[in-house]
Amino acid sequence: MTSPLVSAAWLKSNISAPDLRIIDASWFPSWIASANAGRAAYERGHIPGAVYFDIDDICAEESDLPHMMPDSVKFSSRVRKLGVGDGNRIVVYDSNDFIASARVWWMFRVMGHEDVVVLDGGLRAWEAEGGDLEDLPPIVTGGRHFTPRVQAHLIKSREQVREASSGATLPILDARPAGRFNGTEEEPRAGLPSGHIPGSVNIPSAKLVAPDGRMADEIQLKKLFDDYRAGPVVATCGSGVSAAVLALGLAQLGNWEAALYDGSWTEWASDKDNPVETSTA
């Protein structure tokens, strides 16, 4: 693989390819938008043929943590209902600066589907390219069988992150804004302290996004990731969504070995036995 991204111009030229599937993953955090704001955005207007992937629905039912990765059975069943299966090329986009399209890209990779990319710049780039929108969902015929081949190394548990933190065995990159990471600003989720996992490094996901909504250029990405451009790392954030933007940025630099701590800060800070560091640096 050379890049995890495709341009709006490429998508416009290839949108009619019979093996192509387009997924709208628009999602907005509950503290900045009302419930179902992502679906509402999809229904107002989406790329022709796009189906809607709801990360709050295609998630682990048994967990009280938000949008945790579902098991392979549920994932396979749900994406088949979206008309996605083996042999499909998948393009994921959203209307909020990679915040959930990167997450869905990562989810497909965890399930072993490698032919998945993210639309650089999302819906904004599509419209800037003169792409049409539609406001009706496509007619989805029976999808091909989706065969999961779980890539366990791309997802990390609390125990694995605890070990990485205490033994400094794996770099931990935190995608939250600096104030929350440093402990100088409150967490948006009630009852959670701010701060960070000991030994983790702050790389706010917003710094990976250029003003036009596209991924930052290679110079900026190299500056941000510095020593993390090769080898395994684990990305974390508030609840495992914006962390995937870091994984996407690293893949753009050629490092496809970034895993996600799925429970992220919501899980870590909810357990009073886990150490929390703060910093004004």
Catalytic residue positions, numbered: 237
What's the CA gap between 229 and 249, in Å, rounded? 10
Q: 7: helix, coil or strand?
A: coil
Backbone angles phi, psi at 93, to 5 degrees: -145, 170
Cβ-based burial of 43 (10 A; exposed 0-12, middle 13-18, buried ≥19) = middle
Distance CA 163, CA 113 (A): 28
Q: Is 175 left (phi over 0), alpha (psi -120 to 50) or beta?
A: alpha
Ramachandran angles phi, psi of 236, nearest 5°? -140, 170
DSSP 214-230: SBPPHHHHHHHHGGGSS
**158 residue type, one letter:** R
Q: How far apart are the first and last CA of the chain?
A: 37
Burial of 17 (0-12, 13-18, 19+ CB in 10 A): exposed
∠ CA 185-249-210 to the nearest 5 degrees?
A: 70
Helical segments of the chain, H only: 8-14, 37-44, 72-81, 101-110, 122-128, 158-167, 178-182, 218-225, 243-252, 264-270
Beta partners for residue 127, in sequence order? none
